[in-house]
Amino acid sequence: MIDTASKVFRASGLAMRSLSPGLKQRTCAAVALALSMTVGATQGARAAEGDFWNSIQGFGGTLASTERRSEPVVDKLEDLRPSKVPYRSEEMLTAIDGAFAYYQKIVSSGGWPSVPGPRMIRPGDDDPRVPALRKRLAKEGYLRTSSSGFDSFSYDGELEAAVKRFQESHGLRPSGRVDRPTLDELNITAEGRLKQLQLNATRLQELNNMRPEERYILVNVPAFQLEAVERYEVQLRHRVIVGRNERETPNVKATVRALNFFPYWRVPDSIGKLDLVPRLRKEPDYLEKEKIRVFSAQTAQEMDTRSIDWSHVDPAKIKFKQDPGPQNALGLVRIDMINEHGVYMHDTPMKKLFEQRSRNFSAGCVRVQDVFQLAEWIARLEAGWDQPGRVEQILQSGQAVDLTLTRPMPVYFAYITAWAEPSGGPVQFRPDIYNRDGVNQNGHGEPDPNEAPPAPIPTQALAP
């Protein structure tokens, strides 16, 4: 079985990895992990963990068939990877090898059934689609195949616990409701998941093939998280906000060269043209409220905004610049990383957006939660910045400071939608927000009217 799984995985295109001294060890470990990856066997006992979800408003255990929650569901985020093992590591490659072997077995046995739409299925419902849902979850290992009432139409507590486990491992709100996002993920075929694992194993391998560094930052865009790595171990993890669909955050390999405290924001021409000028046609006092000044693109001289007719202005002839301060779209610190895409990492005044589970709200740059902690870690090896609290002193002073790093730091913006944790457990998938994997299904479910909708992009401030 070990040889078979290993050969299948390598033959799929991932065999392009060159043989390394640890390859044999990785292959054996990968298949051992695959054999332990049946979530129903290793995670079935977790059904009792409903007590955890009962502590979160709006989740609870099994609902009575006639009960409906009227209050919005409050989402408690626990969406960061817990492991100290970084994405760029042999351990992660071994784990995804095992995941591939596990899903290859599912495909070879015929895959799993789809769950018809479009209506939502709620805990406590009697629904003719429930048997298909049970079989779907059992095939992937989220539900024990010996589950009682396997053909029952009743959405009971055991099935609800399995749905929550599925939602957790797919980056979805673990509500237990089979809503539109959950249906979309359920109805990606086993073959699609196998393809996704293959693509992401290649992405991880490419990252791992790069020259190893003592310290670096990696942003996993579709997982909305950042990890700061030192000596091959994750030191920090942060939630991030990334580009919305029409302003995708690109794949980037760059170098952090400076930290800019109390930065100006020089509004990119694209945001000026597409966002700011149209807004000024409706709200001409917006510039004053947000402390944004206008300059001539030719002379660099500041212009009197009262003399500009925003209905007929040529955006190519003007530049916008926002003064430092709490209203600044970059927040109080910018992490400067020169690259051909003009993207970077920064603080933000719109911190409530970090409470959302899906966080693709920006114009392409990456906003970092608790960014001052990351800034202190970046600057720690610089002269005069080795003592904790230095960043806080800068913030308290209110004075602009630009720290040019004597030890520039590599940073990677990566697109990883599938991985497996070396410690075991269900394979992790994340929605393919930019459709780069090519396995998305068309949405066909309906939203839950009692569930809090995603927050709209705030209108009080523009943002990179």
Could you report the per-residue pLDDT of 173-229, keeping only the tens digit for each? Answer: 999 999 999 999 999 999 999 999 999 999 999 999 998 899 999 999 999 999 999
The structure tokens 């991985």 sit at 419
Answer whether residue 10 shows pLDDT above 50. no
Beta strands in 289-385, from DSSP E residues, in sequence order:
292-296, 318-322, 333-338, 345-346, 360-362, 366-368
User: Which CATH number does the domain 215-263+324-415 belong to among 1.10.10.60, 2.40.440.10, 3.10.20.30, 3.30.450.40?
Assistant: 2.40.440.10
**Residue 451, class by beta-carbon neighbours within 10 Å (0-12 exposed, 13-18 middle, 19+ buried)?**
middle
Half-sphere exposure of 395 (CA within 13 A, CB side): 15
Nearest CA-CA partner of 87 in 426, 433, 454, 421: 421
Answer whether residue 447 shows pLDDT above 50. no
Contact yes or no for 395/332 (Cβ under 8 A): yes
Nearest CA-CA partner of 204 in 323, 89, 35, 330: 89
Map out the domains of the chain as residue ranges. 2-87+89-196+419-429, 215-263+324-415
Answer whether residue 8 shows pLDDT above 80. no
Chain segment 283-307, per-residue pLDDT in tens: 988 999 999 999 999 999 999 988 8
Residue 292 in tokens = 């944004």
- Comparing 50-59, 190-199, 235-244, 453-462, the range with the smallest average pLDDT is 50-59
- Comparing 100-104, 141-145, 174-178, the range with the smallest average pLDDT is 141-145
**Residue 401, class by beta-carbon neighbours within 10 Å (0-12 exposed, 13-18 middle, 19+ buried)?**
middle
Chain segment 67-91, per-residue pLDDT in tens: 334 444 456 788 999 999 999 999 9
**Taking the model in full, what pTM does it have?**
0.81
